[in-house]
A and B are shown apart, each in its own frame.
Chain A
Amino acid sequence: MSNEQTPIREVNAAEAVALARDGYRVIDVREQGEWDAGHVAGATLLPLADVPQRIAEVVPDKTAPLLLHCAVGGRSARAAGWLAQMGYTNVVSMKAPIGHWKEQGGTWEEPVQLLTPAQQRRYSRHLLIPEVGQEGQRKLLDAKVLLIGAGGLGSPIGLYLAASGVGTIGFVDDDVVDESNLQRQVLHAADRVGMLKVDSAEMTIRGLNPETKVVKHVERLDAGNVERLIGGYDVIVDGTDNFDTRYVLNDAAVKLGKPVVHGSIYRWDGQITTFVPFEGPCYRCMYPTQPPDELAPACSVAGVLGVLPGIVGMLQANEVFKLLLGVGETLAGRLLMFDAMGTTFDEVRIWRDPACPACGEGVGATPDPDRVAAGA
């Protein structure tokens, strides 16, 4: 941009307020940090340095009436000069301290402090992503996610949920850390063999993110406790090792309208999907009848590649984040299969079964209106 001065129209605060009332669009050329401390209601933030590159996208119409402002009128005058050179014909710069705008009755929005300064630092890489930002991070901090199992899948999922600032993570697990777990269950440690997994998980997560609250449920999920266990959570992550638990969980989650992110692993293979009650199929839509347990050898019998729960768990965690943030496309209605031996993914479609005993037609459960999922 040329430094050559182009004549520009400058107004005082009273005139600026009047122009805004007359329909001038307000463009704030200050920095994000200044904007966050309070800004003109309805204004568009376009920091001075971004003006040359982004103005055509923000204001495609070069005849649109624009009122530029900054803190006192210096930056907005420069921006107005640039816009005039670029062919914008109706640009005005407010030459006044921004405080005068407020004194003249201009509209103003006080900052909404969604995050503390410490949270802004810790989650800064999230805040840079448009689909997360402060509001998304606030959702994560307010979110409650229940992990069924603090083992192979629960370990990587718990670590990344905590690192990312998910506010409450519950673990349902009554097992203790065994030496043979350490090949893949990265929440735990060699000096914690014999310790309850939920206690070990809490220690690790506290070290990673003291802000995350860990809720320890030292029990096995069954038909008698399932509704109490899952009732207070937004999203349930199923990393269990047996069919009983999966069917009990499915039926209760459908009844209470809770989304379940499903993962299973076997040697070199993993499967992932997301069950969103009444929006997509449930586990019973896929397999209406519960198989006998010999069809489901656990890792302790069949073996599992150490990294496999990491890969599958990360894909599950990715689903959790989209459900919590209400963005993107989840795996609802799709089953993703990962083959570590060939490093390939396959996908099949899964359908809601109208005759499903859990979620089919005529089943009276209603989705939880408070659910965070899917933008609801």
Chain B
Amino acid sequence: MSTVRIPPVLRENTGGTRSVDVSGRTVAEALDDLFGKHPELRARVTQDGELSPFINVYVNDRDVRYRDGLETALEAGDTIILLPAMAGGAR
């Protein structure tokens, strides 16, 4: 079991839920489980079956782009962080 942190801009697609427990041996499986529970997220997080270029995925503190991408293996208790680019500031 791993935990996915839902970033603030995607919480409208999870009914406000901030983290979701998921199962899966890889990031891809864990995300599939997540999308099963919150189907609207699929279109926000992926594009044509690949990760959206605007969202970084970290397992614990490591960017999966620098590991094995969606095939990055998960261990029990891992935290998956979805991190879309944020821009809010001045106004």
Contact = CB atoms under 8 A, between A and B. Distances in A.
Contacts of A266: 8-9, 86, 88
A243 B90 contact: no
Contacts of B18: 341-342
Interface string B70-91: 0000000000010111111111
A302 B88 contact: yes
Interface stretch (A43-51, A82-90, A188-196, A290-298): A290-298
Nearest to A353: B65
B90 A268 contact: no
Nearest to B57: A348
A214 interface: no
A304 B61 CA distance: 26
Interface residues of A, number: 50
A168 interface: no
B42 interface: no
Given A266-B8, A288-B53, A289-B54, A298 B63 contact: no
A296 B86 contact: yes
Contacts of A350: 63
Q: Which of A297, A335, A348, A351 is most buried by chain B, counting CB atoms within 10 A of its CB?
A: A348
A297 B56 CA distance: 18
Chain B interface size, as a band, is 20 to 34
Contacts, number: 110
Interface string A251-286: 000000000000111111101000000000000001
Q: Which of A271, A292, A295, A302 is most buried by chain B, counting CB atoms within 10 A of its CB?
A: A295
Contact of A348 (B53, B54, B63, B88): B63
A175 B61 contact: no
A246 interface: yes
Given A268-B8, A348-B61, A153 B56 contact: no
A266 B90 CA distance: 11
B54 A151 contact: no
A209 B22 CA distance: 53
Interface stretch (A69-77, A92-100, A234-242, A322-330): A234-242
Contact of A349 (B7, B61, B87, B91): B61
Contacts of A149: 89-91
B59 to A, nearest CB: 10
Nearest to A264: B86
Given A266-B9, A295-B9, A348-B58, A240 B63 contact: no
A112 B90 CA distance: 41
Contact of B53 (A152, A287, A347): A287
B62 interface: yes
A154 interface: yes
Interface string B1-36: 000010111000000001000000000000000000
Q: What 9 A-B pairs have minimum CB-CB distances, sorted nearest first? A: A151-B90, A149-B90, A296-B87, A291-B54, A264-B86, A239-B89, A269-B8, A241-B89, A348-B58
Given A298-B87, A337-B83, 19 more contacts: A238-B89, A239-B89, A241-B87, A241-B89, A242-B87, A243-B85, A246-B87, A264-B87, A266-B88, A267-B8, A289-B53, A289-B54, A291-B54, A296-B86, A296-B87, A299-B91, A302-B88, A304-B88, A351-B66
Interface of B: 5, 7-9, 18, 53-54, 56, 58, 61-63, 66, 81, 83-91
Interface of A: 148-154, 173, 175, 181, 238-243, 246, 263-269, 271, 286-289, 291-292, 295-300, 302, 304, 309, 335, 337, 341-342, 346-351
